[in-house]
């Protein structure tokens, strides 16, 4: 039961995170184009070029400046059991009510709670402007807590029937009313407890920043090894987007100071000491090269062409975009020992890069890294850029030899080494015909709907579906009876990379098409007779 809840929560957490990649690219490009050391006098203060990119940069900060609101709105969309859009609206209203209560409490009684509310927001004040209200900076923790409370209220009281004479207050109004009165004591508790937590976070920041190479190694290892469970979001998100080591998150801190770091001649490790905890994605750039080469060279000669056709798109996706799950899940289920090896090597790569003095928000694929690290840091930190690639390619070679040795030594059935012939795949037309009979031809011309229908059938049919969610690459489903779920091979016939089983909680590894497949899946669920 707990795994089902964590799976659903983890999927909901990822909904707003998907917006950060584009915002990060826009910010890094606009900041880079305002750097005179990179583009010359055209970026001088007051020029049209400078002013244009300053405007673009202001838009890029939207996502990071409103990160709390994104989670407050995004979580109910993924967690509410009914009327998700209304739940998102309710969550926004209740969260802003909470911050208004908190603001007024601190304005009137700040000294009682050891808070100087007269300070300017930002810096070490512990204060922040949220939705136009000066309040305590509770970061993601406060946003997630309030959103979770609203979802709890919504799921229990949204459909509560009130007497006709007060019927105007039912539905969303009732949820907001209950939330309003709950926020009063919660705001007082927050005013009392959160300043203490802020002090603890400050101490934790210093400790983590000074924990050294082993701390980075352990952090990266945990983030990688938890990928099959879908719980890796709980490891990296407090660091990257939350206050674990830097207030506001490592990504925002790196982008905010990108020009400063680029223009400074101080070592990056001194400029951004907490940046080692932003290295969990370095393996995405270099691991696929070595792993893919190992798979190809160990595949049966007659299957190498087919294996290459599988490896090239998944490896390129991982390297360029940073989405590694489709690639990793190509071998996770047939050779799970290799995933442990992968996690150990990824952690060692991150720790080694850090030990050589390279830090920064390095990850998310080569496309993002070009603008966020490689190009801007090439001005005064070319040594760090070259070190990154030298260490990275060295680990690509290590990956190749380690994986190749393990595959041959233990005869692991990686792609291209399967003993049995491949399970027969439905032809597109066969499957279209099959689904047309079941769904009155509604799905025949939609490849996403065909895949969704295949997964639906493999999961035990529409009556076996309890909850549906998704993250960047996975369709997360809770079923009523796990015994009705088909073997993993059935999902692979529909194009899935694999299946994660945790009791009644299942994760179908779909790939980057998962939003479209989820939409089609929801439509099938909606057709279920009530």
Contacts of 206 (CB under 8 A, 6+ apart): none
Whether 528 is catalytic: no
Q: Is residue 331 part of a domain?
A: yes
- Does residue 92 share a domain with residue 59? yes
- Mean pLDDT (whole number) for 468-493: 88
Give 56-111 pLDDT, tens digit per residue.
988 988 887 888 898 899 888 878 878 888 999 999 999 999 999 999 999 999 89
User: How sure is the predictor about 159, in pLDDT bands with cuts at 50, 70 and 90?
Assistant: confident
Pick the catalytic residue from 332, 471, 496, 508.
Answer: 471
DSSP summary character for residue 343: H
d(CA 360, CA 28) in angstroms, rounded, equals 13
Q: Compute the Cα dihedral for 310, 311, 316, 317 and give only its sign.
A: positive
Among 171, 195, 211, give the residue marking a domain's end: 211
- 236 and 136 both lie in a single domain: no
Q: How many CA within 13 A on the CB side of residue 71? A: 25
In this prediction, residue 5 has a pLDDT band, given cuts at 50, 70 and 90, of: low
Asked if pLDDT for residue 261 goes beyond 50, the answer is yes
Q: Is residue 235 one of the residues assigned to a domain?
A: yes
Residue ranges in 210-275 assigned as alpha helix (H): 212-225, 233-240, 250-256, 258-263, 268-271
Judgement on whether residues 224 and 178 belong to the same structural domain of the protein? no
Asked whether residue 10 carries a pLDDT value surpassing 80, the answer given is no
Q: How far is CA 269 from CA 50, 191, 266, 277, 283, in A?
A: 29, 35, 8, 12, 19
Read off the tokens for 211: 């924990």
Average pLDDT, the chain: 83
- For residue 426, the model assigns a pLDDT of 36
Beta bridge partners of residue 498, listed in sequence order: 509
pLDDT band at 265 (very low <50, low <70, confident <90, very high): very high
Q: Mean pLDDT: which of 18-27, 207-216, 291-300, 405-414 is highest?
A: 291-300
Token duo for residue 520: 């089609």
Q: Return the DSSP state at 510.
A: -
Residue 419 located in a structural domain: no
pLDDT at res. 244 = 72
Residue 417: closest CA among 509, 286, 284, 310: 310
**Residue at a domain's end among 211, 232, 267:** 211
Same domain, 275 and 394: yes
> pTM here?
0.62
Does residue 48 surpass a pLDDT of 50? yes
Residues 476, 6 contacting (CB under 8 angstroms): no
User: What tokens appear for 411 in the block?
Assistant: 């005869």
Pick the closest to residue 438 from 418, 419, 424, 452 (CA basis): 452
- Which regions of 346-497 does DSSP assign to beta strands (E)? 465-470, 474-479
> Domain of 57?
2-211
Give tens-digit pLDDT for 386-438.
999 999 999 999 999 999 999 999 888 887 886 654 433 333 344 444 444 45
Indicate whether 230 pLDDT > 50.
yes
Q: Is the same domain home to 341 and 268?
A: yes
Report if residue 134 sits inside a domain. Answer: yes
Query: Domain tally for the chain?
Result: 3
Which band of pLDDT confidence, cut at 50, 70 and 90, is reported for residue 481? very high
Residue 422 domain-assigned (yes or no): no
Average pLDDT over residues 141-145: 86
pLDDT band at 15 (very low <50, low <70, confident <90, very high): low
- The residue behind tokens 């549906």 is 468
pLDDT at site 146: 93
- As a whole number of angstroms, the distance between CA 359 and CA 498 comes to 34
- Which pLDDT does position 385 carry in this prediction? 94
Q: Are residues 54 and 175 in the same domain?
A: yes
Position 416 in a domain: no
Instruction: Average the pLDDT over 233-238 and give the result.
Output: 71
* pLDDT score at 91: 95
Give, for 136, the enclosing helix (H) or strand (E). strand 133-136
Q: In which band, very low, low, confident or very high, does the pLDDT at 3 lie, cut at 50, 70 and 90?
A: low
Q: Answer whether residue 261 is part of any domain.
A: yes
Residues 189-205 as b or e (16 or more Cβ within 10 Å = b): ebbeebbebbeebeeeb
Segment 289-340, tens digit of pLDDT: 999 999 999 988 888 888 888 788 778 877 887 777 667 766 676 677 888 9
Say yes or no: 94 and 178 in one domain.
Answer: yes
pLDDT of residue 454: 92
- The reply to whether 228 and 177 lie within a common domain is no
Q: Is residue 207, in this structure, part of any structural domain at all?
A: yes
CATH (domain of 450)? 3.30.1360.60
Query: What pLDDT sits at residue 422?
Result: 46
Q: Please check whether residues 388 and 506 belong to one and the same domain.
A: no
507 — phi, psi (to 5°)? -125, 115
User: Angle at which helices 304-321 and 283-298 pack, to 10 degrees?
Assistant: 180
Q: Could you tell me what percentage of the chain is helix, strand and coil, using 3-state DSSP and rounding each to the nearest 5?
A: 70, 5, 25
The pLDDT of residue 445 is: 60
What is residue 280's predicted lDDT score, i.e. its pLDDT?
86
Phi and psi angles of residue 135, each rounded to the nearest 5 degrees, phi first: -155, 180
3-state DSSP assignment of residue 499: strand
Region 279-294: mean pLDDT is 91
By the 10 Å C-beta count (0-12 exposed, 13-18 middle, 19+ buried), 424 is classed as exposed
Per-residue confidence at 182, pLDDT binned at 50, 70, 90? very high
pLDDT value of residue 255: 86
Torsional sign, CA 386, 390, 391, 395: positive
Q: Does pLDDT of 278 surpass 50?
A: yes
Q: Tell me, yes or no, whether 304 and 183 share the same domain.
A: no
- 74 with 201, same domain: the answer is yes
């Amino acid at each position: 039961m707990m795994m089902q809840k964590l799976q659903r929560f983890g999927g909901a957490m990822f909904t707003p995170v998907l917006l950060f990649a584009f915002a990060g690219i826009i910010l890094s490009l606009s900041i880079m184009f305002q750097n005179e050391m990179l583009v010359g006098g055209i970026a001088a203060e007051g020029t049209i070029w400078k002013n244009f990119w300053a405007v673009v940069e202001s838009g890029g900060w939207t996502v990071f400046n409103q990160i709390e609101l994104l989670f407050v709105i995004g979580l109910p969309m993924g967690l509410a059991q009914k009327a998700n859009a209304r739940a998102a609206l309710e969550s926004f209203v209740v969260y802003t009510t909470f911050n208004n209560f908190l603001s007024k409490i601190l304005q009137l009684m700040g000294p009682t709670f050891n808070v100087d509310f007269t300070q300017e927001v930002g810096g070490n004040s512990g204060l922040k402007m949220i939705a136009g209200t000066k309040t305590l900076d509770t970061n993601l923790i406060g946003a997630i807590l309030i959103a979770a409370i609203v979802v709890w209220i919504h799921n229990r009281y949204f459909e509560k029937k009130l007497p006709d004479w007060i019927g105007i207050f039912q539905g969303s109004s009732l949820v907001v009313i209950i939330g309003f009165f709950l926020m009063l004591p919660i705001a007082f508790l927050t005013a009392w407890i959160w300043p203490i937590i802020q002090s603890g976070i400050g101490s934790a920041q210093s400790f983590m920043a000074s924990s050294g190479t082993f701390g980075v190694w352990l952090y990266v290892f945990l983030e990688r090894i938890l990928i099959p469970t879908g719980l890796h979001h709980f490891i990296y998100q407090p660091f990257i987007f939350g206050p674990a080591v830097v207030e506001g998150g490592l990504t925002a801190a790196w982008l905010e100071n990108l020009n400063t770091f680029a223009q400074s001649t101080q070592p990056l490790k001194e400029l951004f000491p907490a940046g080692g905890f932003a290295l969990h994605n370095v393996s995405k750039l270099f691991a696929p090269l070595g792993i893919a080469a190992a798979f190809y060279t160990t595949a049966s000669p007659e299957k190498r062409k087919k294996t290459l056709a599988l490896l090239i798109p998944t490896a390129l996706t991982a390297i360029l975009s940073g989405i590694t799950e489709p690639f990793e899940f190509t071998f996770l289920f047939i050779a799970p020992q290799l995933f442990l090896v992968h996690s150990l090597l990824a952690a060692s790569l991150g720790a080694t890069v850090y030990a050589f003095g390279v830090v920064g928000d390095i990850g998310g694929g080569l496309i993002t890294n070009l603008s966020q690290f490689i190009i801007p840091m090439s001005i005064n930190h070319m040594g760090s850029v070259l070190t990154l690639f030298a260490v990275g390619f060295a680990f690509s070679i290590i990956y190749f030899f380690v994986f190749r040795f393990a595959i041959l030594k233990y005869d692991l059935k990686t792609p291209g080494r399967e003993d049995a012939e491949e399970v027969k795949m439905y032809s597109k037309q066969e499957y279209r015909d099959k689904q047309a009979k079941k769904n009155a031809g509604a799905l025949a011309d939609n490849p996403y709907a065909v895949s969704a229908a295949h997964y639906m059938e493999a999961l035990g049919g529409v009556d076996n579906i309890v909850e549906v969610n998704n993250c960047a690459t996975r369709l997360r489903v809770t079923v009523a009876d796990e015994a009705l779920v088909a073997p993993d091979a059935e999902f692979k016939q529909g194009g899935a990379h694999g299946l994660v089983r945790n009791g009644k909680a299942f994760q179908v590894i779909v790939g980057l098409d998962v939003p479209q497949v989820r939409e089609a899946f929801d439509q099938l669920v909606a057709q279920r007779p009530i």
